[in-house]
Amino acid sequence: MKKYQPSSGSEGEYFMSCFCEKCIHEKYIHTTNDNDKKCDIWTRSMVYDINEKEYPIEWTYDENGKPTCTAFVKWDWGNDGDPDDPDNPNKPFIPEPPNQLHLFPLEQIEKIKEYETRP
């Protein structure tokens, strides 16, 4: 896949507003808790050149040629509540990255199938 790099600061801000600001991995920008982890994809995109191996492979183009982030998991911070709350009915199932080898119990296969069929 071809990696994506914004051509300007304005394009980068727009991309981040479409993905990063609406992603469950960017919880730290929506809370005041200093212990919340920051997603390092944006940082790596600023520090490394697109040709360096550390540049995020998550920023790429989709099948229609549009920029996307493959790590993006949509989360409505205003209505979906705290994703870390075990009692939250909206708590998302976040699958492992696609290139990560992961062995899991059979009962998790049903969760994965349920997640893949969610709207």
Q: Over range 43-59, report the average pLDDT.
A: 92
**pTM across the whole model:** 0.63
Helix, strand, or coil (residue 41): helix
Confidence band of 43 (pLDDT split at 50, 70, 90): confident
Distances in Å between the Cα of 115 and the Cα atoms of 27, 39, 58, 112 are 21, 22, 20, 5
Please state, rounded to an integer, the average pLDDT across all residues of the chain: 78
Answer yes or no: is pLDDT of 68 > 90. yes
Answer yes or no: is pLDDT of 113 > 70. no
Answer yes or no: is pLDDT of 45 > 60. yes
Answer yes or no: is pLDDT of 74 > 60. yes
Confidence band of 80 (pLDDT split at 50, 70, 90): confident
Answer yes or no: is pLDDT of 65 > 80. yes
Q: Which of 53, 62, 44 is nearest to 1 (CA)?
A: 62
Answer yes or no: is pLDDT of 110 > 80. no
Q: Over range 44-59, report the average pLDDT.
A: 93
